[in-house]
Amino acid sequence: MDIYNTNTLIDEQTGNLAFKLSEFESSCQFCDTHRLNYYSLIWIKKGRGTAQVDFSEYTFTPNTLIAVTPYQPFAFTEEEPLEGVVLNFHPDFFCIHKHHEQVACNGVLFNNIYSPPMLCVTVDMAQSFELVLEQMYAEVQKSELAQYELLVSYLKIFLITASRAKAKQQPEALEGTPEEKEPFILQKLKNLIETHYKTMHSAGEYADLLNISPKALAKMTKNHFNKTMTNLISERIIIEAKRELYLTNKTVKEIAYDLGYDDEHYFSRFFKNNADISPKTYRETVGFARAAMA
């Protein structure tokens, strides 16, 4: 792994990474699966390949921005050597949930189970990103008064710019839809999942609500979201579980019950199978104990 020009801030209270900005150039920078306890924004400037994120695989080309949440597993298979920039920040440094109204990146840039976790970086965006990154590089090395406030301001600009771009690019994914009725069904499916994910955990229940066969629903979700219905439901549950573990002091048993699981141990196994980490460890490294200080 070749990484250069790395700038890192460490949380003095926890000893954990708070903020990191680094450039990379490597023949296999992200070949192994990564599960990090902070957010990652990976700007692929050069190179191409495929990204495995959670349950799905996506093709990327030069000038692609990939957004990954804490403990979301990801790995890249390179067709050409990659060059780019990685921006990492811990939820304690900047919480996208608490500042959703200011930045609105949650559900767009991060935690959107219906769209690829990436977007195309246009020429104009690249220029904007370069300016903000240059300011970040300069500020992270100063250790002067109000350093945190300035870095957060620059981070907000980066997140807002990326979120706006992705919000504009997302509708393009439906332009090639072969049947006019499918976008309506897909939107209805999204609404149903959002309404019932805490009580309905099986694909068949949603197929019944949509009055279509489970097989037809499975084909539709695979074609449009590159995921199975089980993937979509599981990811939505895990996103909410992580939010609860981070923002509240509820016990794992209480969170499990709120999400429709009577058996705390079954829920813990479900969480670990999908997040590759236990609810307890997630809370200890990302969650409520330090969220109160953020």
Kindly report each contact of residues 259-267 with a partner whose C-beta sits within 8 Å and lies 24 or more positions away, as own/partner: 259/197, 259/198, 260/198, 260/199, 260/200, 260/201
Residue 145 pLDDT greater than 90, yes or no: no
CA distance 164 to 121: 12
Question: What percent helix, strand, coil does the chain show, rounded to 5?
Answer: 45, 20, 35
79: left (phi over 0), alpha (psi -120 to 50) or beta: alpha
The overall average pLDDT reported for the chain is 87
pLDDT tens, position by position, 165-214: 998 887 533 344 344 444 688 889 999 999 999 999 999 999 999 999 99
CA distance 83 to 216: 41
pLDDT bucket at 293, cuts 50 / 70 / 90: very low
Give me the sheet containing 74-78, strands edge to edge: 56-60, 49-53, 74-78
Helix H, strand E, coil C: the string for 36-69 is: CCCEEEEEEEECCEEEEECCEEEEECCCEEEEEC
